[in-house]
Structure 1
Amino acid sequence: MITIGQKFPAFEKKAVVSREKGKEFETITSDYLTNEDNVWTVMFWWPKDFTFVCPTEIAEFNKSYGEFRDRDARLIGASTDTEFVHLAWRNNHEDLQDLKFPMLADTSKSLAEDLGILEPTEKIAYRATFIVDPQGIVRWVSVNDLNVGRNVKEVLRVLDGLQTDELCPCNWEKGQETIKA
């Protein structure tokens, strides 16, 4: 599995970015992750569209979209489903209709494989979350088993800690003192 300190793999994938007719899809590349605007990226993966735990996570990331934006971080959701399945799911699930971030389609499963998060039997992605700095370097990875949803507040807490570039003690939260060494 790709880990902290490694460059996020190169990719070029279709993504659902809108429900508006004719503007549903865009191509997103790994160039999107590196930027001179000092913007971080949080890419989170779910196993399958049209399932039960996945939409709860996606909806929670969407509810927290403003908090990520306020931290100069962009969100990208991803799974190994196609962009057409993503669009159908968005159109048919009330909690997903107004997403503010792209839903990446890793149909070839190549990116999930490069990241080391492809479940070996069903060949679907684990519930993985990557925080990537503006230089495209992975700074945090978290992977959950298929049946356990992640905690979006914890992702925000870790992002806050990474962005301080200081030592953050156990259970540290934004606004608290960091450790001065």
Structure 2
Amino acid sequence: MALINTQVKPFQATAYHAGKFVPVSEENFKGKWSVVVFYPADFTFVCPTELGDLAEHYAKFQKLGVEIYGVSTDTHFTHKAWHDTSETIAQVQYPLVGDPTATLARNFDVLIDDEGLALRGTFLIDPEGKIKLYEIHDNGIGRDANELIRKVQAAQYVASHPGEVCPAKWTPGAQTLTPSLDLVGKI
């Protein structure tokens, strides 16, 4: 079943954020845009490059009203240890959510059952708690924060402009489309 436009399922987790352990639930996703980024494990190779890229672009996400949540099946204690020992992860200012029971990984359908790890899944959640976009990668393929920012901007535009859609490579200020009978076959 596709996850698009489904409500985030209820969960309870603990995150390492701003030097503290904090509770996180589906309620955190309501009232603002959220990006949930699943990655396989702390202390690995591609993962810190992705989390570091998101950290470098975090101010841009915040300006768009978006909170980021990094999630792996590690514990929040492991997230703290990684934050304390990695120069790259020390730059992360967004919550790193522990999912040792793999509840979140199952809820978002990214769990690799026989490994107990998550695939690289990126999910954009609207202020109502509904999944509006998701992309899942093989664990050897890293993601790009700039492309994610463009997708967030497109989703936010479509949400605030009913009846309009964003074509390929759309960026803020570019022309959108208004689907209609007159547009069929004209593109």
| Residue number in structure 2 paired with 1:137 | 130
- C-alpha distance after superposition, 1:6-33 (max 9, x if no partner): 00111110000023xxxx2011111111
TM-score calculated relative to the size of structure 2 = 0.89
User: Cα offset for 1:3?
Assistant: 1.2
Q: Matches of 1:66 and 1:112 in 2, distance apart?
A: 26
Question: Is the 8 Å Cα contact of residues 52 and 91 (structure 2) preserved in structure 1?
Answer: no
Displacement over 4 Å in runs of 4+: none
Q: Matches of 2:146 and 2:9 in 1, distance apart?
A: 26
Question: Is the 8 Å Cα contact of residues 16 and 79 (structure 2) preserved in structure 1?
Answer: yes
- C-alpha distance after superposition, 1:67-101 (max 9, x if no partner): 11111111111100001111100100001113210
SS in 2 for 1:130: strand
| Residue number in structure 2 paired with 1:12 | 12
| Structure 2 residue runs without a partner (length 5+) | 159-163, 180-187
**For residue 76 of structure 1, what is the amino acid of its counterpart?**
Y
- 1:95-106 equivalences in 2 (<5 Å): 95-106=88-99
**For residue 60 of structure 2, what is the amino acid of its counterpart?**
E
Q: Matches of 1:16 and 1:104 in 2, distance apart?
A: 6
Aligned residue pairs total: 174
SS in 2 for 1:97: helix
SS in 2 for 1:16: strand
Identity %: 31
Q: Matches of 1:16 and 1:144 in 2, distance apart?
A: 25
Instruction: Kindly report the root-mean-square deviation, in angstroms, between the aligned alpha carbons of the 2 structures.
Output: 1.2
| Residue number in structure 1 paired with 2:167 | 169
| Residue number in structure 1 paired with 2:119 | 126
**For residue 29 of structure 2, what is the amino acid of its counterpart?**
L
Q: Matches of 2:92 and 2:143 in 1, distance apart?
A: 18
SS in 2 for 1:178: coil
Q: Does 1:34 align with 2:30?
A: yes
Q: Matches of 1:47 and 1:134 in 2, distance apart?
A: 26
Q: Matches of 1:74 and 1:114 in 2, distance apart?
A: 19
| Residue number in structure 2 paired with 1:77 | 70
SS in 1 for 2:153: helix
**For residue 175 of structure 1, what is the amino acid of its counterpart?**
G
Larger radius of gyration: 2
SS in 2 for 1:94: coil
Q: Does 1:151 align with 2:151?
A: no
- C-alpha distance after superposition, 1:94-125 (max 9, x if no partner): 01113210000011111111211101320200
Work out which of the residue numbers 7, 21, 25 in structure 2 matches 1:25. Answer: 21
Q: Matches of 1:77 and 1:71 in 2, distance apart?
A: 18
Question: Is the 8 Å Cα contact of residues 2 and 116 (structure 1) preserved in structure 2?
Answer: no
Q: Matches of 2:52 and 2:27 in 1, distance apart?
A: 26
Question: Is the 8 Å Cα contact of residues 2 and 114 (structure 1) preserved in structure 2?
Answer: no
TM-score calculated relative to the size of structure 1 = 0.92
User: Cα offset for 1:2?
Assistant: 5.4
